[in-house]
Amino acid sequence: QVQLVESGGGLVQPGGSLRLSCAASGSSIVINAMGWYLQAPGKERELVAVFTSGGSTNYADSVKGRFTISRDNAKNTVYLQMNSLKPEDTAVYYCNAVVTAPMGYLEVWGQGTLVTVSS
């Protein structure tokens, strides 16, 4: 079984910062791609930032220059450093991973962590 455990959400004032973490667990897994998506109330889930299978990074235009994705391969963990947060960044942030596991090729989602940007 492959699981993603997220942490780091919360309430922050506009202009503030938060750091999200997502750790993947499971036996004999290889992470092909891993990153973050968000879902705002009443809207569809959308990409925030991701490490692709080729090792490059993709960012949504709305977060470029403010958010940074990083990873610790030894810990199967990705991070999302969010700076200069805006009220429109308020959403549930979901971690996503595409992994190769003994049971096959899987796409896995975390449970989501709420980020609220408000004064």
User: To the nearest whole number, what is the mean pLDDT of the chain?
Assistant: 96
Identify the band that residue 117 occupies on the pLDDT scale cut at 50, 70 and 90: very high
pLDDT number for residue 27 = 85
pLDDT digits (tens, 9 = 90+) for 13-45: 999 999 999 999 988 899 999 999 999 999 999
pLDDT number for residue 38 = 98
Residue 105's DSSP bridge partners are 100
pLDDT number for residue 49 = 98
pLDDT digits (tens, 9 = 90+) for 54-97: 889 999 999 999 999 999 999 999 999 999 999 999 999 999 99
5: phi then psi, degrees, rounded to nearest 5: -120, 120
In whole angstroms, give the CA distance from residue 24 to residue 111: 12
